[in-house]
């Protein structure tokens, strides 16, 4: 059994890989809740122990920084006697070629999203991870990462706008967002709709670029906490894959099997 951990900016998701099968995931907030993740994992580990089970490896995707990596490492060593295997972005792995000029500088969550995407289509793909930050990546049919984009997520965009425009913030907070058709018909609706439409338009533009390259129609894959909101705003068909990073992590863990 391999414990897989996807540590994002705000939440940590985990699942386990056993016999080539990925379990349903669980999630816990770690940002602003310093003990919650350890308590959740300890409860899970205790349940396993009652069945005589324990992870043989811990494989981690971490974008929360070095401090959290040290906390996680200390916890896993003390509780499970294992040091985590922290995955990093590679120049090439699992049939995917990194498009960054310095491959290690590509965020590991983006890298694993690209690896995970190959399990959903052999052709081109646009991968949108809509979380605290929004990332958009283009994957060609041959497995080449063409590059991508990074934007603030929905909450960050809203907070930035509210923080610089007090009158807008007051108007937005006075009533819930209202949207009719394409357009916001109050301030909160105009802000929320504008953010979603800008993200959707970028994703659709990437899909169009991939299509004209001649490899066929790309698959648009959505992941991250705000994926359902974004999906509702898209004109193109899309597939929501909540655990795309964990799926990529599972593929990398399998490729590193002893």
* Domain CATH code at residue 16: 3.30.420.40
> Against a cut of 0.85, is the pTM above it?
yes
Mark whether 248 and 138 lie in a shared domain.
Answer: no
CA distance 7 to 27: 10
Please indicate, yes or no, whether residues 234 and 247 belong to a single structural domain of this protein: no
Question: Mind giving me the DSSP string for 109-126?
Answer: HHHHHHHHHTTT-SS-EE
The residue from 6, 47, 109, 215 that is catalytic is 109
Same domain, 110 and 158: no
Domain holding 16, by residue range, is 1-120+243-258
Same domain, 71 and 158: no
d(CA 119, CA 96): 12
d(CA 67, CA 150): 23
Q: Specify the pLDDT at position 37.
A: 87
23: which 2 tokens? 């379990």
20 and 98 fall within a common domain: yes
Residue with structure tokens 């294992």?
Answer: 82
83 and 104 co-located in one domain: yes
Residue written as token pair 């016999």:
19
In this structure, are residues 237 and 200 in contact, taking their beta carbons and an 8 Å threshold? no
Which pLDDT value is given to residue 10?
86
Cα separation, 24 vs 21, whole angstroms: 10
Low-confidence ranges of the chain (pLDDT < 50): none
138 & 113 share domain: no
Count how many domains the chain has: 2
Whether residues 199 and 99 share a domain: the answer is: no
Query: Among residues 139, 153, 128, 120, which one has the least CA distance to residue 248?
Result: 120
Beta-carbon neighbour count of residue 221 at 10 Å? 25
Same domain, 161 and 256: no
- Nearest-angstrom CA–CA distance, 107 and 129: 12
Q: How far is CA 127 from CA 112, 169, 207, in A?
A: 11, 32, 10
Per-residue pLDDT, 46: 85
pLDDT for the residue numbered 29: 86
pLDDT at 125: 98
What's the confidence (pLDDT) of residue 5?
96
pLDDT of residue 212: 96
pLDDT of residue 169: 58
Active site residue 243: no
């Amino acid at each position: 059994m391999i414990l897989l951990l996807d540590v994002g900016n705000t939440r940590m998701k985990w699942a386990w890989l056993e016999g080539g099968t990925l379990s349903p995931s669980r999630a816990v907030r770690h940002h602003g809740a310093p003990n919650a993740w350890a308590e959740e994992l300890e409860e899970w580990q205790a349940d396993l122990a009652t069945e005589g089970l324990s992870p043989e490896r811990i494989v981690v995707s971490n974008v929360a920084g070095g401090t959290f990596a040290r906390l996680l490492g200390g916890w896993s060593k003390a509780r499970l006697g294992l040091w985590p295997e922290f995955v990093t972005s590679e120049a090439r792995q699992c049939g995917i070629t990194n498009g960054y000029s310095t491959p290690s500088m590509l965020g590991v969550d983006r890298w694993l999203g690209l690896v995970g995407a190959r399990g959903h289509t052999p052709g081109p793909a646009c991968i949108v991870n809509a979380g605290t930050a929004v990332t958009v990546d283009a994957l060609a049919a041959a497995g080449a990462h063409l590059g991508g984009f990074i934007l603030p997520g929905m909450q960050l965009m809203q907070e930035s706008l509210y923080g610089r425009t007090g009158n807008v913030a007051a108007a937005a907070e006075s009533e819930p967002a209202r949207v009719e058709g394409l357009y916001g018909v109050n301030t909160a609706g105009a802000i929320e709709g504008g953010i979603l439409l800008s993200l959707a338009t970028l994703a659709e533009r990437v899909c169009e670029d991939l299509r004209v390259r001649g490899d066929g129609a790309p698959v648009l894959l959505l992941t991250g906490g705000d994926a359902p909101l974004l999906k509702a705003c898209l004109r193109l068909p899309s597939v929501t894959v909540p655990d795309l990073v964990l799926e990529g992590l599972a593929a990398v863990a399998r490729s590193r099997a002893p």
